Structure 1
Amino acid sequence: MEFVVRAALIGAGATLVMDIWAALQQRLFGIVPLNYAMVGRWIGHLPKGRLTHNPIGATAPVRGEAALGWGAHYAIGIVFAAALIALTGLGWARNPTLLPALATGLVTVAAPFLILQPALGAGIFASKTPQPNVARRRSLVAHASFGIGLYLAALLVAWLMPSPAG
């Protein structure tokens, strides 16, 4: 049970840090964040057998797509946190260090590069976007912020939930 609670809190916290970073980038630099409704649209079309779109914006909307997309965004963050804890052990979650969290954040960028971007019509590694290198750099920065968020959230959770041994 401790694993589940820590993974949920750390994953949700890290995803929140990622979203705060995206909001700051939008406010300070005019960088438009990912529209999670498009993720929900993609998920909503999966049961209909449609895996890829070209582009997703031209695909018919799905009822509740924004909620579906945002829910998936946070659920994925929790799954990534669970993977980190599964690989490093509860010891890391009880006494977090930056390097495993940051490495996890950077490794998770494979998901948009190899799954989400191609599925939404942006191509592998954002190859079909108007500025692929800019899109790639933004994905890396977003996932680095998720990695930092994993660390910060784990610190907070470790403070709120001291390890059973002390």
Structure 2
Amino acid sequence: MTPTDTLILPTLAIGIAATLLMDGWAMLRRRLLGMPSLDYAMVGRWVGHMPRGRFRHAAIGKAAAVTGERALGWLVHYLTGIVFALAFVMLAGESWLNRPTLAPALLFGLVTVAMPFLLMQPAFGLGIAAAKTAAPARARLHSLLTHAVFGLGLYLGAQALVALT
């Protein structure tokens, strides 16, 4: 077996599975609780402005639109999930892929909330950890829950791979 077979391909699948579960959670949350999810066009807009030297916005929704921003945002979203899965598997080790456990995956999922809290939300004009939003505590709670679901997705994705192999 090559390193690609043993690490890269399973990690790719786990990252996609975890991100899909996170998106399913967002859809469920929107339907049941009326909570809007992140508009990934805004992620695309943010990334689309980077080549122009613009990394931070007072209000991302008021920034000039970027051609293809929605598709770019979704692509960045899934690539981020894959990169996070790769980072997790590198930390947890190949043995975790063979015998996945829930606790490390959940913990890692919760740690990934640092990205929106410390990078994306401030860059979007929302402040650190959504401090400039109308309901910061609520936004933080939902971010934590969403990233915990991502961690659960890492575990479930790995469990599915074990079951398939």
- TM-score tier after normalising by the smaller chain length: over 0.9
Q: Deviations over 1:34-87 (max 9, x none)?
A: 001100000000000001011100001101101100011010001111111101
Task: State, as a whole percentage, how many aligned pairs show the same letter.
Answer: 54
Of 9, 19, 24, which residue of structure 2 is paired with 1:20?
24
Give the aligned partner of residue 43 of structure 2. Answer: 39
Give the aligned partner of residue 65 of structure 1. Answer: 69
Give the aligned partner of residue 152 of structure 2. Answer: 148
Give the aligned partner of residue 84 of structure 2. Answer: 80
Give the drift of 1:88.
Answer: 1.1
| Matches of 2:87 and 2:135, distance apart in 1 | 32
Structure 2 gaps, min length 5:
none
Equivalent AA in structure 2 for residue 4 of structure 1: I
Moved beyond 6 Å, runs of 4+: none
| Matches of 1:24 and 1:46, distance apart in 2 | 32
| Matches of 1:116 and 1:132, distance apart in 2 | 15
RMSD over aligned CA atoms reads 0.7
Equivalent AA in structure 1 for residue 72 of structure 2: L
SS in 2 for 1:32: coil
Give the aligned partner of residue 112 of structure 1. Answer: 116
Give the drift of 1:113.
Answer: 0.3
| Matches of 1:57 and 1:128, distance apart in 2 | 14
Give the drift of 1:95.
Answer: 1.2
Q: TM-score, normalised by structure 1?
A: 0.95
